[in-house]
């Protein structure tokens, strides 16, 4: 649809499959030793000494374990995610969930002008599922998101994630922003383009 300035909008429609899974407790007794002596990453150590990945029971209700918002975001502003404040600013977004919050299957609000270079981001509010009780800190290695978007040639691709959680509230609630950026090149909006994201699955490790 043409807007008053003569550009066309990208309307991103999200179809998100999120399944209910029972939570389990974290156990991290040997992680520090592995990181120190075996040269493995924190996430590799987690996988060696604890359970498995579980799909997060998330919705758009606004509570913990919920989708806060979905963004079509300028590539030039990606530092909002990778550095403080570690989340998107709705005012900077080309498109985002409407004033009532994100709902599965809805069109995002606002428009992305032709020629704009954008990334796709999703902000999720986690309960204590992302909190490491051993280190008493939120750990981004304990959460992940996987996206499928045929039109962007993404097939079950693990999304990048913010360097840290934002809006941390003790050990009970914090936000993580996941994104895809096409190898730091973003995607460029073209005339009349529309896109439906096929699937986003959000996981926690327990």
Confirm whether 1 is domain-assigned: no
**The two structure tokens encoding residue 25:** 């407790």
pLDDT value, residue 55: 85
Q: Tell me if 2 is assigned to some domain.
A: no
Residue 182 neighbours by CB under 8 Å, 6+ apart: 119, 152
* pLDDT value for 20: 26
Residue 4 lies in a domain: no
pLDDT digit string (tens) for 67-80?
888 999 999 999 99
Q: How confident is the model at residue 22 (pLDDT cuts 50, 70, 90)?
A: very low
User: Given pLDDT bands bounded at 50, 70 and 90, which one contains residue 163?
Assistant: very high
| Domain around 49 | 12-205
Task: Identify the pLDDT of residue 65.
Answer: 84
Measure the CA–CA gap between 123 and 81, rounded to whole angstroms: 10
Two tokens at 116? 């704009």
- The mean pLDDT value of the chain amounts to 77
pLDDT of residue 54: 87
Question: What mean pLDDT do residues 42-54 have?
Answer: 62
Does some domain include residue 79? Answer: yes
Q: Tell me if 5 is assigned to some domain.
A: no
Total number of domains in the chain: 1
In a domain, 124, yes or no: yes
* pLDDT(66) > 90: no
The confidence score (pLDDT) of residue 145 equals 95
Cα–Cα nearest to 61, from 157, 16, 125: 125
Query: What's the pTM?
Result: 0.75
């Amino acid at each position: 649809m043409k807007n008053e300035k003569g550009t066309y909008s990208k309307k991103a429609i999200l179809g998100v499959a999120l399944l209910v899974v029972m939570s389990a407790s974290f156990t991290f007794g040997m992680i520090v030793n592995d990181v120190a002596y075996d040269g493995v990453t924190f996430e590799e150590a987690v996988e060696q000494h604890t359970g498995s990945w579980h799909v997060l029971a998330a919705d758009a209700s606004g509570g913990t374990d919920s989708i806060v918002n979905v963004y079509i975001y300028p590539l030039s502003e990606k530092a909002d995610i990778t550095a403080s404040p570690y989340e998107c600013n709705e005012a900077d977004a080309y498109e985002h969930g409407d004033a009532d919050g994100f709902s599965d299957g809805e069109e995002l609000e606002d428009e992305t002008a032709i020629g704009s270079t954008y990334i796709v981001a999703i902000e999720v509010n986690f309960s204590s599922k992302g909190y490491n009780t051993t280190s008493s800190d939120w750990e981004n290695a304990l959460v992940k998101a996987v996206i499928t978007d045929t039109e962007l040639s993404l097939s079950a691709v693990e999304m990048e994630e913010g360097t840290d959680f934002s809006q941390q509230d003790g050990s009970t609630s914090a936000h993580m922003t996941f994104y895809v950026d096409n190898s730091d090149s973003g995607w460029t909006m073209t005339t009349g383009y529309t896109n439906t994201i096929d699937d986003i699955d959000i996981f926690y490790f327990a």
